[in-house]
Amino acid sequence: MKTYHLFIGSLILVLSGVSCQPNHSSDQPLPILGNRHVEENTVNGNVSADTVYHKIANFEFVNQEGDTVTNRDVKGKVYVADFFFTSCPTICPIMKKEMLRVYEEFKDEPNFKILSHTIDPEYDTVTLLKDYAARLGVNNANTWNFLTGDQEKIFEIGQTSYLTTAMTDKEEPGGFLHSGAFLLIDTQGRIRGVYDGTKTTQVDQLIKDIPKLLAAGDEVSIR
C-alpha cells in the first residue's frame, strides 16, 4: 500500500508537469504548471480559443488566530503553500526552518502570504498552531497562516489543487505521508513553481522567484 501511495503521488506530479526541480534560469519568466485545456467561444460568428489553466480550487480553513481563511483572502496576492504537521519527526522541522527564511524576507510585503496546511487537524488545534507559530517567531497571521480544518478537505486540496502528496500512512513516521514541496502560487491562483522545502538551494531560488510575480506586468511562460 505504501508503494501504491508513493506511485500515485508521483504520478500526479508527473502528469501535471510539476517537479521539485525548478527548470528555469534566474532571468526567465516563470512557467504556468499543471494541466490546461482550450475553450472555444463564438461571439457574433467569430470563434476565439482561450487557454484555461489549472488553478487552486476554492477553500475554507481556519488559521492560528481562529480566523477563517478562504481563497478570497489570497485573491490578487502571491503566496507559497505547503503541507506539514507539528508532531512530524522527519522533514517538517527542516521545512519550517527554510520557510522561516521566506517569511523573514517577505513578511512586510502586503501582497504576499504563506499558507501552511496541517494534515493532522485532530492534533493540530488552533491553540496548538498559535503556540507553534509563536515558537517560530511568527506572532500574527498577517503574512504566515497556519491552517487547520476538515482533514479530507485538506488532503483533497493538496492532491487535486496543489498536485502534491498529503495523506494518512500508518507505515510512515508520525502516521502521515506528505511532500516537502513549497508551491509558489500567482495572483490568479495558478502554480508557478515547485521547490524542495528541505533544500536550501531550492528555497534560495524560491526567494529569487517571488519578486517576479510581485512585480507589475509579470510575463507568462507557457508550459
Predicted confidence at residue 48, as pLDDT, reads 67
End-to-end CA, the chain: 32
Three-class DSSP labels, 22-63: CCCCCCCCCEECCCEEEEEEEECCEEEEEEEECCCCCCEEEC
Would you give the DSSP letter of residue 71?
Answer: G
Q: What count of Cα atoms within 13 Å lies in the side-chain half-sphere of residue 142?
A: 11
Distance between CA 170 and CA 133 in Å, rounded? Answer: 26
Predicted confidence at residue 83, as pLDDT, reads 95
pTM confidence score: 0.82
For residue 95 the three cell numbers come to 521545512
Predicted confidence at residue 46, as pLDDT, reads 73
Length of the chain: 223
Residues 115, 70 contacting (CB under 8 angstroms): no
Place of cell 527548470: 23
Predicted confidence at residue 198, as pLDDT, reads 95
Predicted confidence at residue 12, as pLDDT, reads 41
Distance between CA 4 and CA 50 in Å, rounded? Answer: 36
Predicted confidence at residue 176, as pLDDT, reads 61
Sign of the Cα torsion 9, 10, 11, 13 reads: positive
Per-residue pLDDT of the chain (223 residues; tens, 9 = 90+): 333 333 333 334 433 334 455 555 556 789 999 888 776 677 677 766 778 889 999 999 999 999 999 999 999 999 999 999 998 888 899 999 999 999 999 999 999 999 999 999 999 999 999 999 999 999 999 999 999 999 999 999 999 999 987 756 566 555 566 688 999 999 999 999 999 999 999 999 999 999 999 995 444 443 4
> In the chain, where do the E strands start and end?
31-32, 36-43, 46-53, 60-62, 68-70, 78-84, 112-118, 144-147, 166-168, 176-178, 181-185, 191-196, 221-222
Distance between CA 88 and CA 199 in Å, rounded? Answer: 17
Secondary-structure percent of the chain, ordered helix, strand, coil, rounded to 5:
35, 30, 40
